[in-house]
Structure 1
């Protein structure tokens, strides 16, 4: 990525539980640095249309995420996890995020959090257009515009560009927060890091 200005790049997946746990940390950190441009890229974690019961590690992983970050998994999500047939489709989620992002590109972390809450707390599918209708209304966007963007070829291309960029960056661990500085990419956040730890690592770069 060619740029003279320092930028932050956040790579996430809406169906990544660790990204859900990281949500408050990145929002807390970025609240102190709104002057730095932020790019948020979808990584494409679940693309095989397998039922959630196939991922036996998720339940234990959620317990760890809760213990380490305090992120709460709501009863509707827990019921969905127990039932087991729900399919996580990261491409659909990335399309939803792209649709929201296209209408308000300065509110990216609001949208990542809203999508995570919809799934991990309220048990809503991120493949369902109605999920984005509600997010749009809650965030004072035109819901019909958002729904139209879900079907747009431009949105499909945008998502593929996200996936390609993440692959080119060589990132396969989510969440990853990178600082692009002096034509170098420096990892400054991820996993269960608190906003204070991200801040400390960020300051080490200057």
Structure 2
């Protein structure tokens, strides 16, 4: 793997992580004010293997979503809440990560945008990230080839890429999502606190990289 450039940020997230749904907009806002940053998005694999269970078994979610909204002000849409009430939907982070890998292959510069789009698709629109139709919708929004996007889940290369990202996250010692690393050329350093707002997050990134915050 190539050595990251200075001012590099690694964002380890999961498209089915409720806290990531709240945090990704903060990161997008912070990055928009800091064009010197390069951002790598890694899927962590939150719901894989034995963790792939129906929503009704994840009894922490109803309480956790209120906490996410309280802290980040992000909303959870009626379509997602219906899935939560029904309880039989199964989140599959392998498919979500493969989907992100496929979208990123179509438009590498939009990786962080797609991370936000995938969380929005599930937590606002109630769309399955295992459904090719979801990727067709997202591609259309970004002016990409919708049929190519709909095919990303059936490409073994994207599933291989997803599994490699899970391993990368594990090697970085990530055990919770979201997790952010900064690198000013001396190696990745975990950002211990993600702050209380997009502005606070941006200042923390600047401090970790030894830079002044934009005024």
Say which SS state the counterpart of residue 12 (structure 2) adopts.
Answer: strand
**Mapping of 1:121-140 within 5 angstroms?**
121-140=124-143
Shift of 1:157: 1.4
| Equivalent-residue separation in structure 1 for 2:128 and 2:193 (angstroms) | 25
Q: How many angstroms does 1:45 deviate by?
A: 0.3
Give 1:26-65 correspondences, 5 Å limit: 26-47=27-48, 48=50, 49-65=52-68
TM-score (norm 1): 0.94
User: Is contact 2:117-2:138 (8 Å) kept?
Assistant: yes
Q: Deviations over 1:126-151 (max 9, x none)?
A: 11111111011111110111123321
TM-score normalized by structure 2? 0.90
Q: CA deviation at 1:9?
A: 0.4
Question: In 2 relative to 1, CA 35–142 (structure 1 residues): closer, same or farther, beyond 3 Å?
Answer: same
Q: Relative to 1, partners in 2 of residues 1:4 and 1:44: Cα closer, same or farther, differing over 3 Å?
A: closer
Q: CA deviation at 1:13?
A: 0.2
Partner-residue secondary structure (3-state), 1:39: strand
Per-residue CA shift, 1:110-132, capped at 9, x if unaligned? 11111111100111111111111
Deviates further, 187-196 or 30-39? 187-196
Cα contact 1:100–1:111 (8 A) shared by 2: yes
| Aligned-pair Cα RMSD in Å | 1.6
Where do 1:73-92 residues align within 5 Å? 73-92=76-95
How many residue pairs match? The answer is: 206
Please state how far the C-alpha of 1:191 moved relative to its aligned partner.
5.3
How far, CA to CA, are the matches of 1:73 and 1:163 in structure 2?
26
Contact 2:43 2:97 in 1 (8 A): yes
1:171 matched residue in structure 2: 174
Contact 2:136 2:146 (C-alpha < 8 Å) held by counterparts: yes
**Structure 2 gap ranges (5+):** 211-215
